[in-house]
Structure 1
Amino acid sequence: MLYPRIIPCLLVHNKGLVKTIKFKEGKYVGDPINAVKIFNEKEVDELMVLDIDATVEGCEPDYKMIENLAVECRMPLCYGGGIKTAEQAEKIFSLGVEKIAISSAVIDNPSIVKELAQKVGTQSVVVVLDVKKKMFGGYEVVTHNATRKTGIDPVKFTKELEALGIGEIVINSVDNDGIMKGYDFNIIDKVKEIVTVPMTVLGGAGSLDDMGQVIKRHGIISVAAGSLFVFKGKYKAVLINYPKHDEKEKLINENYKGIE
């Protein structure tokens, strides 16, 4: 049976782990490998690692870092950052990664989705859409750590991406990133209403209850978070954490009503 997944999202900057607020003010929170080791012990559902330097700096993916992460990781690993070609994706898969995430590359060249799906399989192609509220209403997709506007409506674009063969869509709220006051249901509801592929939401989780609200509302959906799993307490002390098995089971059982 399918169940909602709870996914830590780790951001890599200058080879270290950071946490941002609205995609800015990156705070160093530790070493990526150490974080993976801790998450291994906590038996997380899946791990997402995004290199936020690669695309901005126009660099190739850091294959050595990816290999080190994949060797250590005992849960499904999704990597994103700097991927522009099917050849790069194939090399990353050869290192032991289960999924690749693309973002700006699909804006520049939507057909890359079809090419990647043919090379590595639809189920392994994840598109991350960083979305930001527009000044006069609505949302648009932004890229390069929210420094570039695209004018693209994320809801309409999701349908286009589905037709091209994506395996999963991640909606990442720039406005809610690091705020820890809950997810943006306005954009989540709009996309979930029309999407048929698996969907993950990211940006804003401040508690397990925030995740529970998403699951209760949308059933089989993945909830991801960064700050929630690297900070602890009101003073946000750095502490890698993840719900214990019974806590996760309770969260899902109380909010998930079964296959829709």
Structure 2
Amino acid sequence: MLETRKRIIPVLLLKGQGLVKTRKFGSPTYLGDPVNTVRIFNDMEVDEIVLLDISSTADCKMPQIELLKEIAAEALFPLAYGGGVVDLDVAAQIIESGFERIVVNTACSTHPDFVARMCRELGSSTVVGSMDVKTRRLRGETVFVSGGGIAVKSSVLDWAKRLEDLGVGEIMVNAIERDGEMNGYDLDLIRRVSDAVSVPVIACGGAQSFPDLATVFSAGASAAAGGAVFVFKGKHRGVLIQYPRPSDRIAIK
């Protein structure tokens, strides 16, 4: 796998005009206003933030361009956006609004030609292929799209290679059953995907603490992403925006 600088990436979920955090892709908890949240993260000097609009694909809605412009205007760090992007003009609008990268998930299944074209015209480094994986008791590992609603008839590693063949510059792997649970990453999954492709891998799903972020790097990932670990504090999961301090970053890397 290609070497890249190790990054620590909060993944924020946009639903309507507000941010939420899910558990196993359901039961969303409201977190707050996205613009205010970005301002808080500015002071923490985050590496990057991935913003996923979880209502765009499900409701077949266009990305909220004006809201994205507001968010990007406040951010002092790189931003990636995912949710409902199936048109090159829309992708260009998102980049022009101040986002540096586009995350595609369902489109890799429903509009693969579009994804390949976007990679060619906007550049592979602009496109992140996202894959959501769930382990089912009788069927084993399965890749899902449409917010975990539709299974893909392909093995996990074959799907990862398909994303690479489409031209994406990076692949984000998310373990659905670990989403928001804060019980640790699926390191075996991350390791197998990292070994199977030549593009960098972002590990997501299950981070339980800041020290836990380091475990994905030994499994081959180039970036550690998470949601709950950056927005919840304590056993009662009180909402608190947080990010590793510089001293913590030294230990993680």
Letter in 2 for 1:180: M
Letter in 1 for 2:99: V
Larger displacement relative to structure 2 (68-77 or 135-144): 135-144
> Contact 1:113 / 1:161 at 8 angstroms: preserved in 2?
no
Deviations 1:49-95 (A, max 9, x none): 00000000001111011111111111010000110111111111111
Secondary structure of 1:175's counterpart equals helix
CA distance in 2, matches of 1:2, 1:52: 28
Secondary structure of 2:172's counterpart equals strand
Whether 1:122 and 2:124 are equivalent positions in the alignment is yes
Query: Could you tell me which of 95, 98, 108 is aligned with 2:97?
Result: 95
Counterpart position of 1:230: 231
Letter in 1 for 2:27: E
Whether 1:23 and 2:38 are equivalent positions in the alignment is no
Larger displacement relative to structure 2 (27-36 or 134-143): 134-143
Distance change >3 Å, CA 158–CA 217, structure 1 → 2: closer
Shift of 1:137: 4.5
Counterpart position of 1:55: 57
Whether 1:251 and 2:230 are equivalent positions in the alignment is no
Counterpart position of 1:240: 241
Q: TM-score of the superposition, structure 1-length normalised?
A: 0.93
Counterpart position of 1:256: none
- How many residues align? The count is 251
Identity %: 37
Shift of 1:18: 0.5
Aligned structure 1 segments of 4 or more residues deviating by more than 3 angstroms: none
- Alignment RMSD (CA, Å): 1.4
Letter in 2 for 1:226: G
Q: TM-score of the superposition, structure 2-length normalised?
A: 0.95
> Contact 2:142 / 2:152 at 8 angstroms: preserved in 1?
yes
Letter in 1 for 2:40: I
Secondary structure of 2:93's counterpart equals helix
Secondary structure of 2:28's counterpart equals strand
Distance change >3 Å, CA 198–CA 123, structure 1 → 2: same
Give 1:7-18 correspondences, 5 Å limit: 7-18=9-20
Secondary structure of 1:111's counterpart equals helix
Deviations 1:19-40 (A, max 9, x none): 1000010000111111100111
